[in-house]
Amino acid sequence: MSRILAIDYGLKRTGLAVSDPLRIIAGALETVPTKELERFVAQYCAQNEVSTIVVGKPSQMNGQPSETMKYIEPLVARLRRAYPDKQVVLHDERFTSVMAQRTILQSGIGKMARRDKAIVDRVAATIILQSYMDCISH
């Protein structure tokens, strides 16, 4: 089987997570500067078998798209053009940053490391990926 790559898009940094080839476990992959995101995805997809790219879809509490969607929609369109052989999907990411911060706090990571927003981005991408995998398995 092939992997699923998840993207937690941010204006400055983007967190990435990936499934194992059997699509059982979601794991943090990397945090990259957003301006380098598409180059990183191209390199990763060239070296690994990826069938699906999941992009976190930010929504406000009332369900309306967040401001960030104006950057995410063009990204998704570019990914779909660049990878016609891959499924590119949006998946709800509400609360993932809060859940990521809570997870990091509960993990016992030291205070200085918790300030590293790159860790939060990777964990948020992992939560998006795990949520997506849970949805497609039911």
Q: pLDDT digits over 88-101, tens only?
A: 999 987 655 556 55
Q: Report d(CA 25, CA 109) in Å as an integer.
A: 21
Residue 5, strand partner residues = 18, 53
**Residue numbers of the chain with a pLDDT score lower than 50:** 114
pTM of the model: 0.85
Among candidate residues 42, 22, 51, 55, the one with its CA nearest the CA of residue 129: 55
Q: Distance between the two ends of the chain, CA-based, in angstroms? A: 18
Q: Could you give the domains of the chain?
A: 3-133 (3.30.420.140)
